[in-house]
Amino acid sequence: MEVLIVEDDDAMAAALDAAVISAGHRATRVSRGADALLVHRKFEVILLDLGLPDIDGLEVLRKLRQVTPCPILILTARDDERSVVLGLRSGADDYLVKPVKLVELLARIEAVTRRAGRPGGTRQHSIVLGDLEIDVDRRVAALSSRVLPLTATEFDLLALLASHAGSVVTREQILDALWGDAFLASSRSLDVHLTGLRAKLQLPGFIINVRGVGYRIEANPA
Least confident interval from 15-19, 79-83, 153-157: 79-83
- pLDDT band for position 152 (cuts 50, 70, 90): confident
Where is pLDDT greater, at 122 or 95? 95
Percent of the chain predicted with pLDDT > 90: 47
Pairing of strands 26-30, 207-210: unpaired
pLDDT of 186 reads 59
**Phi and psi angles of residue 2, each rounded to the nearest 5 degrees, phi first:** -90, 120
**Phi and psi angles of residue 186, each rounded to the nearest 5 degrees, phi first:** -90, 125
- pLDDT band for position 26 (cuts 50, 70, 90): very high
**Kind and range of the H or E element at 133?**
strand 132-135
- pLDDT band for position 206 (cuts 50, 70, 90): very high
**Contact residues for 114 (Cβ-Cβ < 8 A; gap 6+):** 180
pLDDT of 43 reads 92
**pLDDT digit string, tens, across residues 32-90:** 999 999 899 889 999 999 989 999 999 999 888 887 888 999 988 866 677 778 888 88
- For residues 6 and 60, the answer to whether their CB atoms sit within 8 Å is yes
R_g of the chain computed on alpha carbons: 18
Q: How far apart are CA 162 and CA 143, in angstroms?
A: 13
pLDDT of 120 reads 37
